[in-house]
A and B are shown apart, each in its own frame.
Chain A
Amino acid sequence: MKALVWEGANELAVRQVPDPQLRNEQDAIVRVRKTVTCGSDLHLLGGYIPFMERGDVLGHEFLGEIVEVGPQVRNHKVGDRVVVCSFVSCGKCWYCQHQQFSLCDNGNTNPMITENVWGSAPGGCYGYSHALGGFAGSHAEYIRVPYADQGAFTVPDEVSDERALFASDSAPTGWMGADLAGVKPGDVVAVWGAGAVGQMAARASVLLGADRVIVIDRLDNRLQMAQTHLGVETLNYEQQDVSGELLERSGGRGPDVCIEAVGMESHSSGPQFWYDQVKQQLRIESDRPIAAREAIYNCRKGGSVFVLGVFAGLVDKFPLGAVMNKGLTLRGAQQHGQRYIPMLLERMARGELVTEHLATHTMPLDEAPRGYDMFKQKLDGCVRAVFQPTS
């Protein structure tokens, strides 16, 4: 079959790879209809996560049709139109049973890498390096889906492919950020990053009853999108004083909840960008935590900061003093999609959660390297590039 593979740092190619096979009784094979770029892929693409091999298939946010099921798959049959959670989780271990699906004890076939690097191993993720299980990704004609009853969700007829696609990863990620950060009616919420993840976190905050939601980025097309489609306020950090504006818009208190949806390749127009950029390129720190620092600094006393952006290792100049002295709650997680996807699909069916606007560019899989280039450089207003492997 055809697939988009990682060939080396910043090198992608579409080529033939072997078709996936059922390997376990709870597996399904899905024919991919739509599969989309994610900010997380950029960290792999740039070579910041050194557990990739030449030939690894990228992609983890996807929707398709089941074409084969293992004998222990009970809830799905051939022909089901499904959206699949980006994380591979068993549904039976203690973490899964406590709704912390991305922490699954059994979903990663290479637990030793992350045990050694982070102390213990989260679950697996499609197309996300050998540290997270080495599962082939979804930028391909077909994909193997382990624990299919747990990770694949039938899409209601009234929800289009274009909308349901984002129930795989960005929508549950954003929802989890708002939910686990404790967003409640009356809160002022600030979200750093107006990519799909930040936009979904902002929308979730609105739906959870926040009084004001403020999205921060520098890309005007994304900020405009957030205003139009999510009904939130925005701040352009290159043109406005973020700290001053946040204080002004929160009665001088600071936002109750600050959500970081930028990740390890954070940008800034100030000198700290060059400081972190140089240290990252010299591998003295692995991640640039610029937005995380700002979120912590601007959060109100006793407030809550949630890190949705992916970080891989070590950061520098981390404001632990602010966390401690302001009594903040700091949390992060890979997304627990299985916990939220059924609810999100219902909200999509009711029209409360729209996502189609995120798919700014749709193209055949053959053009995926161009799609990633546009997504990475944020060219032509690209928010997400969607690939259609089998159309």
Chain B
Amino acid sequence: MRWLIGGAVVVAGGMVARRLLGGTDQGDGHRQRGQTQRRGPRWHVATVNRPAGDVAPGGQLPEPLAGLGDAVEVQLRPAPGDQGTEIAVRLRDGSRLPVAAAARRATGRDPEQAIRAALRESKQLIETSEVLHPDYPPTTEPTPMNKPLRMATQQGRREGRL
């Protein structure tokens, strides 16, 4: 079950944090398969509502993606049905040990997280000319109950199914 309402927020929050950090696009079964097969890095793809010329004018990718440098491969292709341009990004070197990957992910240092954030931020820059920031200063305060949720939202745009 994906939906994780707990009787208490702390329960729900804890599960949510685990879910968010663990990812859901690959269920446990997939993850185990992935571990044994060491499947290569997957493409992370976002569609931007602009023609390719606006996505990389003069071949220059937007800063968040350009900043990933040679660590990633980037492909651009027109999206079908006039939906703009698909930007596909994947790590060049995928032969990472799953254990190390999980640890990096939990500490927010997984390169796949950086790819997601760069893709989302680039899409926003191209479509809206800025990256939307959360409200600041916050009106909330940390409590033992909301700790898991705060941990999860700190990952901002770095997690999710992208």
Contact = CB atoms under 8 A, between A and B. Distances in A.
Interface of A: 3, 5, 8-9, 17-18, 20-21, 23-26, 47-57, 72, 90-94, 97, 105-107, 109-113, 115-117, 119-121, 130, 133-136, 144, 146-147, 282-283, 286, 312-314
Contacts of A314: 1, 3
Interface stretch (B60-68, B104-112, B143-151): B143-151
B4 A117 contact: yes
B3 A53 contact: no
A115 B2 CA distance: 11
B93 to A, nearest CB: 25
B32 interface: no
Contact of B9 (A17, A25, A50): A50
A21 B47 CA distance: 31
A92 B128 contact: yes
Contacts of A106: 123-124, 127-128, 132
Contacts of A53: 140-141, 143, 146, 149-150
A213 to B, nearest CB: 34
A312 B157 contact: no
13 contacts: A5-B139, A21-B136, A21-B137, A50-B6, A55-B141, A72-B129, A94-B47, A97-B49, A106-B127, A113-B160, A116-B20, A117-B3, A314-B3
Q: Closest 3 A-B residue pairs measured CB to CB?
A: A313-B3, A112-B160, A55-B140
A20 B138 CA distance: 9
Contacts of B4: 50, 117
A18 B137 CA distance: 6
Given A25-B130, A136-B139, A111 B2 contact: no
Contacts of A111: 120, 157, 160, 162
A44 to B, nearest CB: 12
B139 A116 contact: no
Count chain A CB atoms within 10 A of each CB in B16, B83, B128, B146 and give the residue with the most. B128
A121 B116 CA distance: 14
A109 B138 CA distance: 14
Given A105-B123, A106-B127, A116-B19, A54 B140 contact: yes
Given A24-B130, A50-B16, A110-B134, 9 more contacts: A17-B139, A20-B135, A54-B141, A91-B128, A92-B128, A105-B49, A110-B157, A111-B160, A312-B3
Contacts of B159: 112, 116
B12 interface: yes
B133 A109 contact: yes
B102 interface: no
A56 B19 CA distance: 23
Contact of A119 (B132, B146, B150, B161): B161
B127 A92 contact: yes
B44 to A, nearest CB: 12
Contacts of A136: 135, 139
A171 to B, nearest CB: 26
Contacts of A49: 5
Interface residues of B, number: 52
Interface of B: 1-7, 9, 12-13, 16, 19-20, 23-24, 47, 49, 83-84, 120, 123-124, 127-141, 143, 145-146, 149-150, 152-153, 155-162
Contacts of B23: 116
A282 B5 CA distance: 10
Secondary structure dominating the interface of A: loop
B84 A94 contact: yes
A54 B12 CA distance: 15
B5 A286 contact: yes
A55 B4 CA distance: 22
Residue among B13, B120, B139, B160 with the most chain A CB within 10 A?
Answer: B139
Given A93-B49, A283-B6, A112 B157 contact: yes
Contact of B128 (A48, A90, A109): A90
A25 B130 CA distance: 8
A179 B19 CA distance: 37
A48 B6 CA distance: 9
A322 B55 CA distance: 46
Contact of A117 (B2, B83, B153): B2
A312 B130 CA distance: 30
Contacts of A312: 3, 5
A54 to B, nearest CB: 5
A116 B132 contact: no
A93 B127 contact: yes
Contacts of B161: 112, 115-116, 119-120
A11 to B, nearest CB: 12
A134 B141 CA distance: 13
A144 to B, nearest CB: 6
Contacts of B9: 8-9, 47, 50, 52
A338 B62 CA distance: 29
A117 B160 CA distance: 9
B135 A50 contact: no
Nearest to B7: A283
Given A23-B135, A72-B129, A113 B20 contact: yes
